[in-house]
Amino acid sequence: MNLNSPLFDRIRTRREAKTEPSPARGTVCSHPGCQAPGEFRAPMGRLREGQYFCFCLDHVKEYNATYNYFNGMSDEDVLRYQKDAVIGHRPTWKMGANRAGVASAGMQDPFHMQGAKAGKSRTPKHGVVARKALHVLGLDDEARPAEIKGRYKEMVKRLHPDANGGDRSNEDKLREIINAYNVLRSSRAV
Ligand SMILES: [Zn+2]
């Protein structure tokens, strides 16, 4: 937005004329050498809040176009004021290019999220269903096909009724193992 556009001057002039009490009758324009009626008030600026110039229309427009609240402040003061305005004018460290650079470098990874991301967490070798099946077989999440096959054969042999003198008490467990192995086969873990 161009703050110096004539349109903006007009809007601002109108708003100020509306919201602020009019200067007393007979007030002359504050602009040096101007004798026109000072009908429009304009704030004097920082440290003179509540004080106003009274300008004619032409000069209030000119004043508004060049009005700078931060007149008389150094660039550093302006930066500090603007930053303080954002954080509520609390005293804090001094604003400066170098200091800001250091601060932002420290903020790049405040919770060491990147380390966590780059570190331990890998994509699991097997999906959730296959991992459950591995746990049924008493295997860990990273079990390899040969390991799975070996464990399956071993458990079937141990739980099968033929290996237990016809005892069928392990039948449910055996069914669970077979189902788990079928899950691992269909998810191509074996
Ligand atoms: Zn004037």
Nearest to 190 by CA among 123, 126, 132: 126
Ligand 1 centroid to Cα of residue 134, in Å, is 89
Q: For residue 180, what pLDDT is reported?
A: 93
Q: Give Cα 132 distance to the centre of its chain.
A: 37
Q: Report how far ligand 1's centroid is from the alpha carbon of 28 (Å).
A: 8
Distance 75 CA to ligand 1 centre (A): 30
Please report how many Cα atoms fall inside a 13 Å half-sphere around the Cα of residue 21, on the Cβ side.
Answer: 5
Output the CA 38–ligand 1 centroid distance in Å. Answer: 7
- pLDDT (0 to 100) of residue 18: 45
Could you report the per-residue pLDDT of 143-159, keeping only the tens digit for each?
Answer: 999 999 999 998 888 88
Rounded to the nearest whole angstrom, what is the distance from the C-alpha of residue 32 to the centroid of ligand 1?
A: 8
Distance 84 CA to ligand 1 centre (A): 36
Summarised one tens digit per residue, pLDDT across range 110-138 is 555 544 444 445 677 888 889 999 999 99
Domains of the chain: 6-66 (no CATH), 128-186 (1.10.287.110)
**DSSP 3-state of 156:** helix
Q: What is the DSSP letter of 28?
A: B
- Which DSSP category does 170 fall into? T
**Among the residues of the chain, which ranges form H helices?**
6-19, 57-66, 75-87, 97-107, 113-118, 128-136, 145-159, 171-186
Distance 68 CA to ligand 1 centre (A): 19
pLDDT at 30 over 70: yes
Q: Are 31 and 56 in contact (CB under 8 A)?
A: yes
Residue 146 gets which letter from DSSP? H
User: What does the pLDDT read at residue 20?
Assistant: 54
